[in-house]
Chains A and B, each alone.
Chain A
Amino acid sequence: MNLLRASLREIVGLFLDDEFLAAAALIVVAAAALLIKLHVIAPLAAGGVLFAGCLGVLLTSVWRTASVGRR
C-alpha cells in the first residue's frame, strides 16, 4: 500500500509541482479549446493564444518564485 501511494505520489509529482504553473497552463489550454469550439477566432489564431499563453505562464511562474527570493 505504501509502495502504491509512493508510486502515485511520484507520478503526480511528475506533472504538478508549482500549483500556479499547472493551473494556469490548464486554463490556457481550456481557453484555446473554447475559442476554437465556439468559433470565436480562427484555429491558427487560437494556436497563437495557446503558444503565447504557455510562454506567459512559464515567465509568470518564474517571476513569482524569483520575487519571493532565494530558497
Chain B
Amino acid sequence: MLSWTSESTAISAAFLASLVEVVEAFTIILAVGTIRGWRTAVAGTLCGVVALIAIVAVLGPALGQIPIQWLQVVVGILLLLFGLRWLRKAILRYAGIIALHDETATFTAETAQLKKAAWQQPSRLDWVAGVTAFKAVLLEGLEVVFIVIAVGAGHGMVGPAAAGAAAAAIFVLAIGCAVHRPLARVPENMLKFGVGVLLSSFGVFWTGEGLGISWPGNDAALIGFILAFLVLSLLSIRAARRAIPEAAV
C-alpha cells in the first residue's frame, strides 16, 4: 500500500510543476485567441490535446514492460536532472543573477509575432495562429507528461501524479477564463524553487532505491532529503547574493 507521504508528495509535486507549464501554454493560447479569435485558439488547443493523448496511449503501456528497479534508476536520474536544474535556476533568480521569467513579456512577444504574420501573410493567418496554439499545447503538454511519468512511475503513482497535473490544468483554465489576461502574478520562481526541492529529493530517493539502497525510515527519509535541500538552497541564495558584488568588481 502506498504511504501517505509518497502519494501526497507526488500529487503536490505534479500539481506545482504542471502549473508552471500550463501557465506558459495558456499565455500563448491567450495571444492566439486575442489576435485571431477563440475558434482558431480552441481548434489548435484541441488538436494539441488529441496529439498528446495519442502519444501517451502509444508510449504509456511500454512503461509497464520495464523492470521496476531499472525504472526507478532511470526515473530517479531524470528527476535529479530536472529538479536540480529548476532549483539552480530558482536560486539564481532569487539571488538576482538571472532575470525572472515574465509572462506579460511572453504574451507581448507572441502577440507581436502573430501581428507580423498577419501583415506578411493575411490569408494564412488562421493556419499560423492555429499551429502556434497547437505547438504550445503539444510542447508544454509533453513536459507535463514527462513530469507525471518522472514523479509517478517509480512507485506506481502515475495515477495520483496525473490527478495533480489535471488539477493544475483545470485550475489555470478556470482562472485564465475569468481574468482573460496572462497569469503574470503566478509566483513562478517560488513554484520552481519548491518543485525543484521536491523533485531533487525524489530523485535522490528513487535513484538510491533503484541502486539497492534501503533508506533509513523508508519513505520518511524523503522528508529528511526535502529539509536538507530546502535549507541548503536557502543558504545558497544568501551566499550567491553576496557573491555578486565581488564578481562585479
Contacts and interface: CB of A to CB of B under 8 A. Distances in A.
B142 A10 contact: yes
A62 B200 contact: no
Contacts of A43: 211-214
Contacts of A68: 247
**Chain B binding surface, main DSSP class:** helix
B62 interface: no
**Chain A binding surface, main DSSP class:** helix
Q: What is the interface residue range for chain A against chain B?
A: 35 or more
Given A18-B88, A55-B229, A59-B236, A47 B248 contact: no
Contacts, number: 135
Interface in A39-71: 43-44, 46-47, 50-51, 54-55, 57-59, 61-63, 65-71
Nearest to A30: B77
B226 to A, nearest CB: 12
Q: What is the interface residue range for chain B against chain A?
A: 35 or more
Contacts of B98: 65, 71
Given A29-B207, A71-B97, A22 B91 contact: no
A71 B99 CA distance: 7
A4 to B, nearest CB: 10
Q: Which 8 A-B pairs give the minimum distances between C-beta atoms?
A: A69-B247, A15-B81, A66-B240, A47-B213, A66-B243, A43-B213, A10-B139, A47-B208
